[in-house]
Chains A and B, each alone.
Chain A
Amino acid sequence: MSSFVDRRLSGKNRSAVNRQRFLRRYKQQIRRAVAEAVSGRKVADLERGERISIPAKDLSEPVFQHGPGGRRVIVHPGNKEFVTGDRIDRPKGGAGQGGRGGSPEGEGMDEFVFELTKEEFMNYFFEDLALPDLVKKQLTATPEVKKVRAGFVSQGNPANLHVVRSMKQAIGRRLAMAAGPRERLAEVEAALAELEAKGEGASAEADRLREEIAALEARVAAVPFLDTWDLRYAHRIDQPQPTSRAVMFCVMDVSGSMDEERKDIAKRFFMLLYLFLTKSYEKIDLVFIRHHTVAKEVDEDDFFTSRETGGTVVSSALELMREIIRTRYPSAAWNIYVAQASDGDNWEDDSPRCRELLINDILPLVQYYAYVEIQAEHPQSLWHQYEYVKAVNRNFAMQRILGLEDIYPVFRELFRRKASA
């Protein structure tokens, strides 16, 4: 009277829709939580910062309840000390007392914590954002593919038939298939030659050997010269080809005036850009240039971790960047983006030179140039020069960042999706 059903293979994501409903409903809170996760945590956490917590009161499902107060009796088990009529003090926030309790910042019951998948997290993070002016070199969702060679396969179309490989295969096969008979043939021929040497060439034994020789020769001859099994075809696979390639220059001041906190902010700014670009482009080259009085191209690790001291000559970095663009990233083939972070300190004499470099040499080559000035108490010489640059160039943006929590808004501001796009 019982029936058994194996449901293990029927769909397991029955709650997926409800989960999406939940995420949609609490979009605002989740976005805020994501923004907080970004500003309040280490950069390294960002990639796996999918744990989101929302104040539980925001998503409570209320019911009519009794509040504290009034008169009530509760029965508990395990009495070991009380007798009727005992009076005891009220436990502080103790068991059985439903109530508020807990600070708004508190952990535990006051927070609803759940996991966002990495994709979901990234989607919240990058919502509404896109690199500007993509129209020029359109970035499409499906990348172009290019056929590239990938070895040989035994199935394919005739046009791809690879003659040399097929013949090689045939030789091997012929050798292998004829090996047995040939060996026997050699033996039999040797035996026949022996008989003939003894002068018994006409004996019945010799005739039998000759017959066998004939049979073996026929077998060897029957091995086909070329068999379908031998055929080999050149194999070609589709390799995704980014329709537009991007290179991003990260330029950072690592001079003595950039203290740890500022570097930290800059670091996060680049990290966000980096994450964004890896999401938007199939292929992005990253070039890290750090500078104090001299500029140097470094790898990613060095860029974020090294410490330098000394003064600041911003133009050194710009010159190096110009060189790299000229030699490695011709602007006809690359979308070039530059993100520069600095505390605004520069040698007075150098700032006008930076302006000239930008206007004449660099900005004509790049798609977009973003400059952030971190925790400068008041705008410094570089800022004033850059303001001039901004006035005459559309693809130049600049912004000041005061605290850790400003990064995210700045980032959004810099890369807000253009209405025209």
Chain B
Amino acid sequence: MSSEPQKPQASENTPAPATTGPVMRRRYLSEGSEWTFDLLRLYDQEIARVAAHYGLDTYPNQIEVITSEQMIDAYSSVGMPVGYHHWSFGKQFMATQKSYKRGQMGLAYEIVINSNPCIAYLMEENTMTMQALVIAHACYGHNSFFKGNYLFRTWTDAEGILDYLVFARNFVAECEERYGEEAVEEILDSCHALMNYGVDRYKRPAKLSMAKEKARQRSREAYLQSQVNLLWRTLPPKEAAAKARQEERFPPEPQENLLYFIEKNAPRLESWQREIVRIVRKIAQYFYPQRQTQVMNEGWATFWHYTLLNHLYEEGRLTDGFMLEFLQSHTNVVYQPPYYSRAYSGINPYALGFAMFRDLRRICEAPTDEDHRWFPDIAGTDWVKTLDFAMRNFKDESFIAQYLSPHLIRELRLFAVLDDDAKDQLEIAAIHDDAGYRVIRQFLADQYNLGNREPNIQVWNVDLYGDRSLTLRHFMHNRRPLGDSTPEMLRHVARLWGYDVRIESVDETGEVELVGECLV
């Protein structure tokens, strides 16, 4: 699919002459490429009508028209409409601006923010076609995904995010005034470095407000408890007691949310520093679902802009010129270069996601025998319902594990390469054949498992009765070691913790090895 442009179905391809066709007359929404606000409204209404026809459930949209400079601004603050100030955003801004000015890179067509109302940006330089594409993609595709997918429902608070970001920006600015920009920047640097380790992966969904209240109460207790923190105990320990204590670790169970642990337990952070740790943690948590659903989210939005606009075209509301321009950028977006191409840089999430949703629809509408064997539950069912279910209840990893079909594996000609440093050569582990389908599906799903992509590092122990040093443990997966950024990372952890920090790697046999140390 990747190499050939998406062809509209035959009926769409033959323009029905207005004079002969018994079908509806063509009433184009507009001709020409100029957009106006009236036209944007008209297109939005039409797209909304079709989206409702397919049962897409969305937040209200707030569509903002901006200039390309503003787009660079928005782009470089990682899509946060309001952000605190930090040099890394400036770096991103300068890099984006440079490559945009030199023409090395087009700007993203759209940025959409998971908030209620859902904010989407349109660039003023775009043609009417592109604006319509973005409206369909962002305001109905991404928007419905944000509202429907379980990860977003569980982890993000679309209602409150803008308020929280405003709070965060003001708080950081206030701290800068009080404690100096450098001091705040140091904390932020370290927190940003640990951002990926500032999320709860398996926490239960947020409780009702009563539960929230209780949690607050608990945190007050925890505060009182922190006043008698053993970390501060200076009395010399008794020998026997010390021995017993050596056995028990703190925390009793390893903790994977490093920033949370630091926020709650780092002995030397001041309260404003803890609050900043918390802010970064909250933002990391807010973006966590997006990192886990890239393929699905983009695939879903791409599938819907394609479906919605084709629907409008079939109704005779769009001109042929519109469709040609639309299909051209659509095919650019979903192009998947093969592994031997110079343009290849991994699997294109737009391409994979789009292909999978299209394939799902195919399985529902025109199942083959193979599909009936592989997907007995969904073959031949209502595709709208099936896709809706898939969108709501999966993330990339499970989505691929559940729905990647042999048909698509053949179409994409996927193959798995095993890279084992114990062997001299790479080995082809599986290709698109009967023996390989399940293997490839599992490997590809693993590839999107954030837990495999990032080293698994957890808080293991704090030497409560000794030098207060913090020990992290890296649980190795497939013997993969830590990279060379580790010493620098330990300095960041140590800056937050305030005392010595060590990191140990544990391999699959349970053998522990000290791989890094940062002494304060």
**Chains A and B are bound partners:** yes
Q: From B47, which residue of chain A is reached at the shortest CB distance?
A: A2
Residues A113 and B89 in contact, CB atoms below 8 Å apart = no
Name the CB-closest residue of A to B76: A15
* Highest count of chain B CB atoms <10 Å: which of A70, A79, A90, A96: A79
Q: Which of B74, B446, B484 has the most CB of A within 10 A?
A: B484
Q: Are the CB atoms of B485 and A63 closer together than 8 Å? A: yes
> Which residues of B sit under 8 angstroms from A86, Cβ to Cβ?
427-428
Residues of A within 8 A of B10 (CB): none
CA distance A19 to B197 in the complex (A): 27
| Contact, CB under 8 Å: B429 / A84 | yes
Judge whether B37 and A4 touch: CB under 8 Å.
yes
Interface set, chain B 462-483, CB cutoff 8 A to A:
476-483
Contact yes or no, A2 B416, CB < 8 A:
no
User: A71 touching B478 by the CB < 8 A rule?
Assistant: yes
B85 touches A2 (CB 8 A): no
B 435-463 to A, binary, CB cutoff 8 A, 1 in contact else 0? 11000100110110000001101000000
Task: Give B44's nearest chain A residue, CB to CB.
Answer: A2
**Contact A3 B427, beta carbon cutoff 8 Å:** no
List the A residue with the shortest CB-CB distance to B91: A22
Q: How far is the CA of A308 from the CA of B429 in the complex (A)?
A: 75
Min CB–CB distance A18 → chain B (angstroms): 3
A20–B90 CB distance below 8 A: yes
Residues facing A in B86-143 (CB within 8 A) are 86-91, 93-95, 97-98, 101, 117, 124, 139
List residues of chain B with CB within 8 A of the CB of A73.
416-419, 429, 443, 446-447
Partner among A3, A21, A63 whose Cβ is within 8 Å of the Cβ of B60:
A3
B480 touches A69 (CB 8 A): yes
Interface residues of A in 49-86 (CB under 8 A from B): 59-80, 82-86
Q: Tell me the B39-76 residues at the A interface (CB within 8 Å).
A: 40-41, 44, 48, 60-67, 69-70, 72-74, 76
Q: Judge whether B420 is part of the interface by a CB distance below 8 angstroms.
A: yes
Contact of A66 (CB < 8 Å), options: B95, B482, B492 = B482
One of A6-14, A134-142, A155-163, A328-336 at the interface: A6-14
| Contact residue among B37, B41, B90, B484 (Cβ-Cβ distance under 8 Å from A19) | B90
Chain B residues positioned under 8 Å from A17 (CB to CB): 85, 90
Q: Which residues of A contact B97 (CB under 8 A)?
A: 115
A349 interface residue per 8 A CB criterion:
no
Contact indicator A74/B413 (Cβ below 8 Å) = no
Name the residue of chain B whose CB is nearest to the CB of A4: B63
Given contacts A18-B76, A70-B421, A89-B425, contact A65 B482 (CB under 8 A): yes
Let me know if B414 and A79 touch, CB within 8 A: yes
Whether a CB of chain A sits under 8 angstroms from the CB of B269 is: no
Known interface pairs A70-B421, A73-B416, A75-B414. Does A64 touch B197 (Cβ–Cβ under 8 Å)? yes
Closest approach, in angstroms, between the C-beta of A251 and any C-beta of chain B? Answer: 42
What is the CB-to-nearest-CB distance from B421 to chain A, in angstroms, rounded to a whole number?
Answer: 5
Q: Residue A96 contacts which of B101, B346, B476, B481 (CB distance < 8 angstroms)?
A: B346
When distances are taken between beta carbons in the complex, the residues of chain A under 8 Å from B414 are: 75-77, 79
The CA of A74 and the CA of B425, in the complex, are separated in Å by 14
Interface centre among A2, A3, A68 (most CB of B within 10 A): A2
Which residue on B lies nearest to A2, using beta carbons? Answer: B61
Whether B90 pairs with A21 at a CB distance below 8 angstroms is yes
A2 touches B2 (CB 8 A): no
Q: Pick from B77, B89, B419, B485: contact of A71, CB below 8 A.
A: B419
A281 vs B477: C-alpha distance when bound (angstroms): 66
A80 partner residues in chain B, CB cutoff 8 A: 338, 340, 413
B193 sits at the interface (CB 8 A): yes
**With A18-B89, A21-B87 in contact, is A6–B483 under 8 Å at CB?**
no
Asked whether A95 is an interface residue with its Cβ less than 8 Å from the other chain, the reply is yes
A119 to B90, CA, bound (A): 18
Q: How far is the CB of B166 from chain A (nearest CB, A)?
A: 14
Structural contact, B139 and A2, CB atoms closer than 8 A = yes
A100 to B63, CA, bound (A): 42
Residues of A within 8 A of B431 (CB): 79, 82-84
Chain B residues whose C-beta falls within 8 Å of the C-beta of A113 in the assembled complex: 98
Check A71 against B422 for contact (C-beta < 8 Å): yes
A18 partner, pick from B93, B101, B476, beta carbons under 8 A:
B93
Contact A6 B454, CB 8 Å, known A15-B76, A77-B336: no
Are A61 and B419 in touch, CB under 8 angstroms? no
Residue from B37, B345, B426, B483 with most neighbouring chain A CB atoms (10 Å): B483
Q: Least Cβ distance of B70 to chain A in Å?
A: 5
Interface string of A80-117 (1 = CB under 8 A from B): 10111111111000011000100000000000111100
B339 CB within 8 Å of chain A: yes
Contact among A19, A63, A78, A89 for B413, CB-based, below 8 A: A78
B489 touches A18 (CB 8 A): no
Chain A hits for B427, CB < 8 A? 85-88
Contact A62 B489 (CB under 8 A): yes
Q: How many residues of chain A are within 8 Å of chain B by beta carbon?
A: 60
Q: Is the CB of B90 within 8 A of A78?
A: no
Contact A71 B98 (CB under 8 A): no
Within 8 A of A (CB), among B12-36: none
| A5 interface hit (Cβ, 8 Å) | yes
Residue in A closest to B67 when the chains form the complex, CB atoms: A8
Question: Within the complex, what minimum Cβ distance (angstroms) separates B370 from chain A?
Answer: 19
Contact among B76, B90, B432, B479 for A69, CB-based, below 8 A: B479
Contact status A66-B336, CB under 8 Å: no
Query: Which residues of A sit under 8 angstroms from B76, Cβ to Cβ?
Result: 15, 18
- Tell me, rounded to whole Å, the shortest Cβ–Cβ distance linking B115 to chain A: 13
Q: Does B196 contact A (CB under 8 A)?
A: yes
Assess the B65–A5 pair: CB atoms within 8 A.
Answer: yes
Is residue A25 within 8 Å, beta carbon to beta carbon, of the partner chain?
A: yes
A1 touches B479 (CB 8 A): no
Q: How far is the CA of A114 from the CA of B95 in the complex (A)?
A: 7
Whole-angstrom distance from the CB of B415 to the nearest CB of chain A?
4
Instruction: For the complex, give the distance between the alpha carbons of A23 and B94 in Å.
Output: 10
The answer, yes or no, to whether B283 is at the interface (CB within 8 Å) is no
B159 proximal to A (CB < 8 A)? no
If A14-B70, A18-B90, A73-B446 touch, whether A83 touches B428 (CB-CB below 8 Å) is yes
Contact (Cβ within 8 A) A8 B489 = no
Complex CA–CA separation, A68 to B422 (angstroms): 12
Report B-chain residues with C-beta under 8 Å of the C-beta of A69.
Answer: 421, 479-481
Chain B hits for A112, CB < 8 A: 91, 95
B337 contacts partner chain A, Cβ-Cβ < 8 Å: yes
Residue of B nearest to A12 (CB): B69
The minimal Cβ–Cβ distance linking A335 to chain B, given in whole angstroms, is 39
When the two chains form their complex, are residues A78 and B339 in contact, meaning their CB atoms are under 8 A apart? yes
Residue of A19, A75, A76, A88 ringed by the most chain B CB atoms within 10 A: A75
Given A3-B61, A17-B85, the answer on whether A64 and B482 have CB atoms closer than 8 Å is: yes
A415 to B1, CA, bound (A): 68
Q: B341 within 8 Å of A by Cβ? A: yes
Asked if B37 and A61 make an inter-chain contact with CB atoms under 8 angstroms apart, the answer reads: no
B345:A95 contact, CB within 8 angstroms? yes
Q: Which residue of A lies closest to B89 (CB)?
A: A18
Q: Does B512 belong to the interface (CB within 8 Å)?
A: no
Docked-complex contact B479 and A64, CB < 8 angstroms? no
Query: With the chains together, A404 CA to B94 CA distance in Å?
Result: 31
- Given contacts A64-B486, A79-B413, A79-B432, is CB(A88)–CB(B480) below 8 Å? no
Q: How far is the CB of A384 from chain B (nearest CB, A)?
A: 50
State in angstroms the CA–CA spacing of A100 and B151 once bound together: 35
Ranked 4 nearest A-B pairs via Cβ:
A78-B338, A70-B480, A22-B90, A18-B90
Q: List 20 A-B contacts (CB under 8 A).
A: A1-B60, A8-B70, A14-B77, A21-B85, A62-B193, A63-B195, A63-B454, A64-B482, A65-B482, A67-B481, A70-B476, A73-B417, A73-B418, A76-B347, A78-B338, A78-B341, A87-B427, A95-B345, A112-B95, A114-B94
B positions within 8 Å CB-CB of A: 2, 37, 40-41, 44, 48, 60-67, 69-70, 72-74, 76-77, 85-91, 93-95, 97-98, 101, 117, 124, 139, 181, 185, 189, 192-193, 195-197, 336-341, 344-347, 412-422, 425-433, 435-436, 440, 443-444, 446-447, 454-455, 457, 476-486, 488-489, 492
Given contacts A19-B93, A71-B420, 5 further A-B contacts (CB under 8 A): A5-B65, A73-B447, A74-B447, A84-B428, A115-B94
